[in-house]
């Protein structure tokens, strides 16, 4: 608790501990932990992910920013094995844009992307369907091999 003293998000934690029952004897519930981590990413400049959230303009709605009970009322208890996800990655944290999701679902909803080859598409389709496919590293190797071959062909035959 002393590590949070004087920080803007610490007062909400102190107030929350006495009103909602999700921090009995200092042990936070998974739902409370998700809310607190969301706030830390968006409000704490010392958080290593701050630049990826607040630095990109990701904000928390007024209803949730200082009210765990409002967050809990909108999202419900966090189901086991799921974490908080924003449906649209470039939008903020608010009820219509958030859901509880598996890590696998979240991995498919990342902002770091590059153009997909057929091999990449096959891998992603299989991943979404839950089927086993060669790893993405195999698809990456195929992608780069095809690119090298195309460059060689262009150099040898002048783009024909």
C-beta separation of 93 from 86 below 8 A: yes
pLDDT of residue 19: 56
**What are the tens digits of pLDDT across the range 11-32?**
554 554 445 666 655 678 899 9
Written as six digits, the tokens of 139 are 């698809």
**What are the tens digits of pLDDT across the range 69-122?**
999 999 999 999 999 999 998 999 999 999 999 988 888 777 665 555 665 666
**What are the tens digits of pLDDT across the range 140-149?**
666 666 767 6
Average pLDDT over residues 43-60: 94
43-62 residues labelled b (16+ CB within 10 A) or e (exposed):
bbeebeebeebbeeebebbe
């Amino acid at each position: 608790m002393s590590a949070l003293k004087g920080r803007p998000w610490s007062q909400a934690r102190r107030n929350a501990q006495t009103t909602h029952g999700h921090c009995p004897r200092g042990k936070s519930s998974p739902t409370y932990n998700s809310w607190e981590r969301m706030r830390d990413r968006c409000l704490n400049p010392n958080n290593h992910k701050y630049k990826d959230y607040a630095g990109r303009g990701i904000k928390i709605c007024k209803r949730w920013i200082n009210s765990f009970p409002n967050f809990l009322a909108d999202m419900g208890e966090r189901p086991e094995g799921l974490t908080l996800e924003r449906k649209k990655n470039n939008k903020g944290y608010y009820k219509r844009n958030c859901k509880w999701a598996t890590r696998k679902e979240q991995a498919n909803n990342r902002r770091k992307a590059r153009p997909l080859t057929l091999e990449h598409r096959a891998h992603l389709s299989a991943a979404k369907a839950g089927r086993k496919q060669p790893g993405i590293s195999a698809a990456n190797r195929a992608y780069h091999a095809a690119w090298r071959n195309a460059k060689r062909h262009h150099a040898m035959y002048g783009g024909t």
